[in-house]
Structure 1
Amino acid sequence: MDLIFAAAGATLFSAVLVRFLIGLARNRAWYDWTDERKAHDGNIPFLGGIGISVSFFTVGLSAFFLFHYTAQGRAFSFWYMAAILAGLLLIHATGVFDDFRNIPALKKLSLQILAAGIIVAGGPVIRTIQFFGPATQISLGIFAVPFTVAWIVGMGNAVNLIDGMDGLAGGVVFIASLVLGVLAVAEGNALTALLAFTLCGAIAGFLVFNLPPAKIFMGDGGALFLGYAVAVLPILSRGGEVLPVPVLVPISLLLVPIADIVAAVIRRKSRGLPFHSADREHIHHKLQDAGLSVPQALAVIYGFCGLMAFSVLAFKLLHNGFRLAILSGAWTAVALAVIMLYRYQAADSRHQPDEVARTS
């Protein structure tokens, strides 16, 4: 009952609030600017992230207290929850301010680290990572806190980087959060389930207006918030019990943004460019350059994420030899698809000068 209330309430609240924000932004001419990374035309408001975050905070906190998540058997400290929400609020505020004022890169990174530090100070820390089972565990020891901060900051920037096409960032995080919520229910992790389904609802209400052709964008305030939120979900404790983090689960679910940010770092480093510089070489740009429309490119990436979601559910819920084969197969399929896409684009770019010369 609590999860249904959270998901449905957040969806309705988010949809109503986002619809209001569209009108407000149009009246104030608060429109998103365009650059090489973004694929849109016209004046589109950028306040959608406010609708996502406000509905998440409001409905999430209401459900947290209404359904007695601090009661015995659901032993979550109020301060544990407060630290998580405070960190998420700070990163959201940082993103919104950046949408309006364009914060310098170093100062923005400092605020991102501070927000992640606040979350970690409240308790959710990756102390042990696990790959395939108890026999493949690694204790992080003194590196636990910096590793956790790096994971949260990295995911925030990864989601922010893929937020360059209608429905993309919201849809990717929605799929990941939905799977994390289902797994949390199966494992009896009440707090993770509550926050995951609340986040799904908040995103769903926003996607009503963000799927192509988008009427509103989430902006940096929304993208950073979603990245931090989905990074926190898999590391939350279960009723105060600290468990190893099955690292393959979040990495698999978020493979698209993780692969995209790794490729961007390598690409910009090799060219001597700052990390925050924009370009048109992300996965969704490659799909569009291959001739796909925005809805078609979005469907392909959703397909990648859906395949990884299915493989993660199989990996966690099955108890036979097929589970690892399914996960490995999904990784291989997505990796081959991305490699073929990049090779196709590289070959196409080499042929273009010859074609221009012949037609001139």
Structure 2
Amino acid sequence: MVLFALAPAVLAAPISACITRWSMPLLQRYALARPNARSSHRIPTPQGAGIAVIAATLLVAAPWAAWIHAAIPLPLIGSAVLIALVGLVDDVRPLPVVLRLLLQAGAVAAVVFTTPEALRIVPALPLAVERTLILIGGVWFVNLVNFMDGLDLMTVAEVVPVTATLGLLGWWGDLSPSAALIATALCGAMLGFAPFNRPVAKVFLGDVGSLPIGLLLGWCLLELAWQGQPAAALLLPAYYLVDSTVTLFRRIARREQFWSAHRSHFYQRATDNGFTVRRVIGDVFALNLLLAVLAIITVSASSTWVTWLAFVAGAIAIGFVLRRFSRPQAF
């Protein structure tokens, strides 16, 4: 039974690794990311390996879902492909910000507004209001994964613990089979990509990877919230949510062009403050493991006071890491 649950990850990992390896010469030629003042890399590096991650995830998840009779929504697959194509074009030739946002919003809306009306998080809210808030949150989540993908292995350190936990919750029956399948396949695909992205990275995900990863991961977390576990759905991506959201509001308060590339995220400031890339990634990975444990506790305990304690513990842990990242490293 355990081997069956892990099989999608085991299949997706080599597919992702093979496609990544085969695509690197093409990416080197057409999608080269050259370093600038805001970059964390120092030499021109190909980007766009997210093609491999998304392809491996969908190539495994779609037929597997048909085999076990788990319904993966067609709008989700179509929207993931659309956002990946938008990201691919943007990796080769940058698109206007407004056009990117409109296409992303359309893709997220196609997923959100085609779900059954019975799926609710806060039934007291009018359905239209709740779905609109989910749409806004979905667009933000898609972009924050992109914003946070600015360091070698950063997205791996985030996505692998989250998707592994979602797969585990699915195995325990606390998440829909379709969401658990997507999460497990995505986890494997990220593991297959990881050797190529470890410091110093040979290739980056690019927008073609980070944007649809945000969509797929966001949908899995939304499914978890619809299953009556909104606390766990917030705790799992809490580090990404806090780092990116705090950074966004700080940039808005400073009247900066918050939509443009920058080095203001806490993990970026950490490298400027003397932290090695491996140490930053190690701290983020450890933090995400703790948040995963807290999320599992809220699901298993089903107690309000336990949930609040988990949120407090998570907030303290995140605050501790962000404070460390924002202060110069002592030598």
Normalization by structure 2: what TM-score?
A: 0.90
Match of 1:155 in 2: 141
Question: Contact 2:48/2:207 (CA < 8 Å) preserved in 1?
Answer: no
1:285 equivalent in alignment to 2:268: yes
Question: Following TM superposition, where does structure 1 have runs of at least 4 consecutive aligned residues deviating by more than 6 angstroms?
Answer: none
- What residue is the counterpart of 1:356 in the other structure? none
- Assess, with a 3 A threshold, how the Cα gap between structure 1 residues 123 and 326 changes in structure 2: closer, same or farther: closer
Deviation of the 1:66 alpha carbon: 2.6
Separation in 2, partners of 1:126, 1:176 = 26
Contact 1:14-1:203 at 8 Å conserved across structures: yes
Give the one of 206, 214, 221 matched to 1:227. 214
**Quick check: 1:10–1:205 contact (8 Å CA) kept in 2?**
yes
> What one-letter code is carried by the residue in structure 2 that aligns with 1:224?
L
Alignment of 1:63-142 (within 5 A): 63-69=64-70, 76=71, 81-123=73-115, 128-129=120-121, 138-142=124-128
The one-letter code sitting in structure 2 at the alignment partner of 1:208 is: P
1:175/1:138 CA distance change after superposition, 3 Å: farther
- Report the equivalent of 2:132: 146
Partner of 2:51: 50
Alpha-carbon deviations, 1:219-260, whole Å to 9, x = none? 0111111111110002238xxxx9455332222111122112
The structure that has the greater radius of gyration is 1
Would you say the 8 A contact 1:158–1:260 is kept in 2?
no
Q: 1: distance between equivalents of 2:275 and 2:152? A: 14
How many Å apart are 1:43 and its aligned residue?
2.2
Provide the rounded CA distance (Å) in 1 between the counterparts of 2:117 and 2:233: 15
CA deviation string 1:296-339 (max 9, x = no partner): 11111112211111111122123566564344223212223324
Residue number in structure 2 paired with 1:337:
321
Partner of 1:7: 9
CA 1:13–1:147 in structure 2 vs 1: closer, same or farther (change >3 Å)? same
1:196-238, Cα deviation, whole Å (9 max, x unpaired): 101111111111211212111000111111111110002238x
Residue of structure 2 equivalent to 1:353: none
Alignment partner, residue 215 of structure 1: 202
Name the SS for the 2:264 alignment partner.
coil
Residue 248 of structure 2 corresponds to which residue in structure 1? 265
Aligned residues of 1:312 and 1:327 also touching (Cα < 8 A): no
In 2, are the aligned partners of 1:210 and 1:217 still within 8 Å (CA)?
yes
What letter corresponds to residue 171 of structure 1 in structure 2? A
Distance 1:2 1:191 in 2: 14
**Partner of 2:69: helix, strand, or coil?**
coil
Q: 1:315 aligns with which of 298, 310, 325?
A: 298
For structure 1, the 5+ residue unaligned runs are 70-75, 131-136, 349-360
Farther-moved stretch of structure 1 (158-167 vs 142-151): 142-151
Aligned partner letter, 1:7: A
Instruction: Indicate the SS of the match to 1:285.
Output: helix
- C-alpha distance in 1 between matches for 2:79 and 2:116: 12
Q: Distance in 1 between matches of 2:271 and 2:279?
A: 9
Q: Which AA in structure 2 matches 1:264?
A: T
Shift of 1:63: 0.7
Note the C-alpha offset of 1:2: 4.6
The alpha-carbon deviation at position 29 of structure 1 amounts to 5.1
Work out whether residues 36 and 278 of structure 1, in 8 Å CA contact, stay in contact via their aligned partners in 2.
no
The one-letter amino acid of 1:301's match is V
Map of 1:202 onto structure 2: 189
**Greater Cα shift, 187-196 or 151-160:** 187-196
Aligned pairs for 1:162-173 within 5 A: 162-173=148-159
CA distance change for structure 1 residues 198 and 41 in 2, over 3 Å: closer, same or farther?
same
Contact 1:32 1:46 in 2 (8 A): yes
Deviations 1:66-120 (A, max 9, x none): 3333xxxxxx3xxx62111011111111111111110000111001101101112
Unaligned runs of 5+ in 2: none
How many correspondences in the alignment?
Answer: 326
Deviates more, 1:8-17 or 1:182-191: 182-191
Between stretches 314-323 and 291-300, larger displacement belongs to: 314-323
Aligned identity (percent) is 23
Asked if 2 retains the 8 angstrom alpha-carbon contact of 1:177 and 1:199, the reply is yes
Aligned-partner Cα distance in 1 for 2:198–2:116? 33
Q: In structure 1, what is the Cα distance between the partners aligned to 2:268 and 2:239? A: 13
Change (3 A) 1:152 1:214: same
Distance 1:42 1:31, change over 3 A: same
Contact 1:260 1:283 in 2 (8 A): yes
3-state SS, counterpart of residue 33 of structure 2:
coil
The SS at the match of 1:128 is coil
2:88 and 2:211 map into 1 onto residues whose CA distance is 9
Q: Deviations over 1:335-358 (max 9, x none)?
A: 23324543x35x99xxxxxxxxxx
